Amino acid sequence: MARSMWKGAISFGLVHIPVEMYPATREHSLDLTMLDKRDFSPIGFKRYNKGNEKEVTWDNIVKGYEYTPGEYVVLSDEDLRRANVEATQTIDILAFVDGDQVPLIYYDQPYYLAPGKGGDKVYALLRETLCHAGKVGIATVVIRVKQHLCALVCMGDVIVMNTLRYQDEIRATDELKIPARGDKKTALTDKELKMALALVEGMSEEWKPEQYHDTYREDVLALIEKKVASGDTKTLTQPEGERERPATGNVIDLVALLQQSLGGGGKAGGKESASSKRTAANDDDSEEDAAPAPKRRAAAASKSTSHRTSTKTTAKSTAASKTTKTAAKSTTTRARKTA
């Protein structure tokens, strides 16, 4: 486990629980280095004084707040702590609410809370209280230079602190073009809804987070290994032209799409609907687009070769037909002259 990133206490009523905060997540991003494409040298970034353009070391850097253009108030870490000592040292629970009352869009970043020295029993008391009551504690905490709203949630044996977004940090949806419930243009039939529910039911399963992973990252790493193995390490792959996609109609046969999804084949009366054919064509295009670039090029080359072969065969057949007709005419002419 990483070192604790914050030490303080949970406070509610007269209860004071010493705790330590630990990050609950870790990133698995691709560590890409920015290079100069002319000689592939790494790009460096310097902290420099904008007045004299000289580089500045970390020990000479301080924080400042610009209260008027060009004028700053210098703030040290001690200044930030003294501004509100209690706020920087406590997770202050303000209220308890039902967990389902907090929309998912408000949740931001999770942290694990572990009991500090001598805090095991009161920690266990809060944990069991949250679990039995089915509540989450809404609190405030200062991390670095920002006061966060947060939710304390019981997760197994651990109390998890999820920072929350404030109301004014959530964008309004007024400007989005969202179909309203009851709109005649988007009205659903009972059949469409029942089939969609059947599809959801058929795809329902237990939540198993271990079966999900970043397949795109794995694909990029596989591409990197392939480039290294082939010695193709310093070649810039040029983008391919955008493929034109067939236009699709504005009217979508939802029933046919749902039937296909449910395994019904999207057929009505023994004949595949036009919408189903369009969907199948689009699926084929999507699969071809999803294939790696070499496969797409190979497929394109194969199609081109097949087309050329077909064209040549057709041309030979046409030429042979013309030759046969000419020979027949010549024979008929000679026979008439002889007669």
Q: Find the helix packing angle between 274-290 and 254-261, rounded to 10°.
A: 60
How far is Cα 144 from Cα 81, in angstroms, rounded to an integer?
9
Predicted confidence at residue 330, as pLDDT, reads: 44
Q: Which tokens sit at 238?
A: 């040029």
pLDDT tens per residue across span 217-248: 888 889 889 988 988 888 888 887 766 655 44
339 domain-assigned: no
Question: Distance from first CA to last CA of the chain, Å, rounded?
Answer: 109
Residue 116 sits in a domain whose CATH number is 2.40.290.10
Say if 259 falls within a structural domain.
no
Residue 161's pLDDT is what? 96
Report the relative pairing of strands 90-98 and 6-12 from DSSP bridges: parallel
Task: Give 107: exposed, middle or buried? Use CB within 10 Å, 0-12, 13-18, 19+.
Answer: middle
pLDDT reported for residue 19: 92
CA-CA distance, 236 to 238, in Å (whole number)?
6
173 inside domain? no
Asked if residue 294 belongs to a domain, the reply is no
Domain count, the chain: 1
The answer to the question of residue 84 being in a domain is yes
| Tens digit of each residue's pLDDT (9 = 90 or more) over 175-223 | 888 888 888 888 888 888 898 898 888 889 998 989 888 888 888 889 8
User: Which residues, at least 6 apart from 171, have a Cβ–Cβ distance to it below 8 Å?
Assistant: none
pLDDT score at 79: 87
Q: What is the pLDDT of residue 314?
A: 45
pLDDT at 135: 94
DSSP labels for 116-180?
-TT-HHHHHHHHHHHHHHTEEEEEEEEETTEEEEEEEEEETTEEEEEEE--GGGSPPSTTS--PP
* 160: Cα within 13 Å, side-chain hemisphere: 17
Regions of the chain short of the pLDDT cut 70:
1, 85-86, 242-252, 264-339
Q: Please choose, from the candidates 148, 154, 142, the residue with its C-alpha nearest in 3D space to the C-alpha of residue 112.
A: 154
Q: Is residue 108 part of a domain?
A: yes
Please give the residue range of the domain that contains residue 93. 6-24+63-167
By residue count, the chain amounts to 339
- The answer to whether residue 134 sits within a structural domain is yes
* Whole-number pLDDT of residue 111: 95
Q: What is the pLDDT of residue 255?
A: 76
pLDDT value of residue 154: 94
pLDDT at 308: 46
